[in-house]
C-alpha cells in the first residue's frame, strides 16, 4: 500500500470517528433537553393535580341548547359549575360547548376566575342576609353547630364548596338553577365580619354579635392556636431526632 493510500485511509477513519462523536453528543444533548423538559412538565403536572385535588366542584345543572339552521339543528350544552376549596373560598362559572365534558371544563375555569372569600364563624354565616337575582331570592340564616346545611340542591352545592357546614336557607321566587345560584352568591357577597359591621355602626363587636357566636368564634380561635402549637412541637421533635 502506497503512502497516499495510507493517508487517504487514515483521513476517512478520522472523519468517521468525528461523525460518530458528533452524533453521540447530539443524542446526549437531545436526551438531556428531553429530561429537563419532562422534569418541568412533570412538576407542573403534579402541581396542577395537587390543586385539582384540593378544590371541590359541583355541577349544578347541564342544559341542552339547539340552534336551527337552514340545513338542520346544531346542539350544544351549557354547564353551571360551582368550585371552592371548602374553606371559605367559592366561585360560580358557566361553560358552553358542543360536548358535555368540554362545557364542564369551561365552567370550572370560569368559576375559578370569579372566586371570592366568604366570612364565616365556626362553619356558619356571620349574620342573616338575603340575596336576589332577577326573580330569584335566597335567604341565609346562621345556625348552631350540628344543624347541617338546610338547603335545596343548588344552594347546597354553593354552601358545601364554600365550607359552610351549618346554615338555614330558604329559596323563593324563581326555581331556575341559574337564578338560585346567582342569588346565593349575591347573598354570600353581602356577608361582613363582625369587626366591619361594628366599625360601620360605631359600636363594639359585642354589641353587634350574639354571645353564642362570640363564644363559638373564641373556641375556634383557641382550637386553631392549639393545632398550630402541636404542629410546631411535632416539627421541633423531628428536627431534634
* Predicted confidence (pLDDT) per residue in 16-35, tens digit: 555 555 555 556 566 555 55
124 and 172 co-located in one domain = yes
Q: Is the pLDDT score of 159 beyond 60?
A: yes
Domain with 18, as residue range(s), is 1-53
178 and 125 co-located in one domain = yes
* Three-class DSSP labels, 141-207: EECCCCCCEECCHHHHHHHHHHCCCCEEEEEEECCCHHHHHHHHHHHHHCCCCHHHHHHHHCCCHHH
CATH number at residue 188: 3.30.230.10
Q: Kindly report which listed range (51-60, 123-132, 146-155) carries the lowest average pLDDT score.
A: 51-60
**Which is more confident, 145 or 185?**
185
22 and 9 co-located in one domain = yes
Looking from the CA of 139 toward its CB, the CA atoms found within 13 Å total: 7
> Is residue 210 assigned to a domain?
no
> Is residue 234 assigned to a domain?
no
Residues belonging to the chain: 241
Mean of all residue pLDDT scores within the chain: 81
* Predicted confidence (pLDDT) per residue in 60-88, tens digit: 999 998 888 888 888 999 999 999 999 89
Q: Is the pLDDT score of 229 beyond 70?
A: yes
Distance of CA 82 to the CA centre of its chain: 9
- Judge contact between 110 and 142, C-beta under 8 A: no
CA 158 – CA 160 distance, rounded (Å): 6
**Which is more confident, 102 or 223?**
102
Q: Which of 194, 169, 174, 165 is nearest to 184 (CA)?
A: 169
74 and 185 co-located in one domain = yes
40 and 87 co-located in one domain = no
What local confidence, expressed as pLDDT, does residue 10 receive?
A: 44
DSSP string, 127-141: S-EEEEETTEEEEEE
What local confidence, expressed as pLDDT, does residue 194 receive?
A: 82
Give the confidence band of 43 by pLDDT, cuts at 50, 70, 90: low
Give the confidence band of 182 by pLDDT, cuts at 50, 70, 90: very high
Please state at what angle helix 153-162 crosses helix 177-189, rounded to 10 degrees. 40
* Predicted confidence (pLDDT) per residue in 86-145, tens digit: 989 999 999 999 999 999 999 999 999 999 999 998 889 988 999 999 999 999 999 988
Distance of CA 157 to the CA centre of its chain: 14
87 and 172 co-located in one domain = yes
Pairing of strands 149-150, 167-173: parallel
CA 111 – CA 109 distance, rounded (Å): 5
Q: In what order do the strands lie in the sheet with 129-133?
A: 129-133, 136-142, 167-173, 149-150
3-class state of residue 51 by DSSP:
helix
Question: What average pLDDT does range 38-65 have in this prediction?
Answer: 69
**Which is more confident, 78 or 215?**
78
Give the confidence band of 184 by pLDDT, cuts at 50, 70, 90: very high
Question: What average pLDDT does range 227-235 have in this prediction?
Answer: 85
What local confidence, expressed as pLDDT, does residue 70 receive?
A: 85
> Is residue 169 assigned to a domain?
yes
21 and 101 co-located in one domain = no
User: Among 18-22, 167-171, 223-227, which range has the highest average pLDDT?
Assistant: 167-171
pTM of the entire predicted model: 0.69
Question: How many of the other CB atoms lie within 10 Å of CB of 76?
Answer: 16
DSSP string, 87-113: SSEEEEEEEEESSHHHHHHHHHHHHHH
> Is residue 166 assigned to a domain?
yes
Question: How far are the Cα atoms of 44, 91, 124, 134 from residue 142, in angstroms, in the given order?
Answer: 40, 21, 6, 24
Amino acid at each position: 500500500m502506497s503512502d497516499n493510500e495510507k493517508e487517504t485511509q487514515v483521513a476517512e477513519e478520522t472523519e468517521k470517528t468525528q461523525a460518530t462523536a458528533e452524533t453521540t453528543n447530539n443524542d446526549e444533548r437531545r436526551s438531556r433537553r428531553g429530561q429537563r423538559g419532562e422534569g418541568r412538565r412533570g412538576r407542573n403536572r403534579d402541581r396542577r393535580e395537587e390543586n385539582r385535588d384540593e378544590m371541590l366542584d359541583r355541577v349544578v345543572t347541564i342544559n341542552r341548547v339547539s340552534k336551527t339552521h337552514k340545513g338542520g339543528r346544531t346542539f350544544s350544552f351549557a354547564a353551571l359549575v360551582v368550585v371552592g376549596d371548602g374553606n371559605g373560598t367559592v366561585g360560580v362559572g358557566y361553560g358552553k360547548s358542543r360536548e358535555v365534558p368540554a362545557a364542564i371544563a369551561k365552567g370550572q375555569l370560569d368559576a375559578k376566575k370569579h372566586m371570592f372569600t366568604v366570612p364565616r364563624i365556626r362553619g356558619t354565616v356571620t349574620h342573616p342576609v338575603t340575596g336576589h337575582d332577577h326573580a330569584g331570592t335566597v335567604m341565609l340564616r346562621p345556625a348552631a353547630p350540628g344543624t347541617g346545611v338546610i338547603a335545596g340542591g343548588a344552594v347546597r352545592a354553593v354552601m358545601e364548596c364554600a365550607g359552610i357546614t351549618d346554615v338555614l336557607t330558604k329559596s323563593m321566587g324563581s326555581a331556575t338553577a341559574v337564578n338560585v345560584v346567582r342569588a346565593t352568591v349575591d347573598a354570600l357577597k353581602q356577608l361582613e365580619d363582625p369587626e366591619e359591621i361594628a366599625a360601620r355602626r360605631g359600636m363594639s363587636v359585642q354589641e353587634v354579635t350574639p354571645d353564642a357566636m362570640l363564644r363559638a368564634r373564641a373556641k375556634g380561635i383557641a382550637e386553631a392556636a392549639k393545632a398550630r402549637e402541636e404542629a410546631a412541637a411535632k416539627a421541633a421533635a423531628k428536627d431534634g431526632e
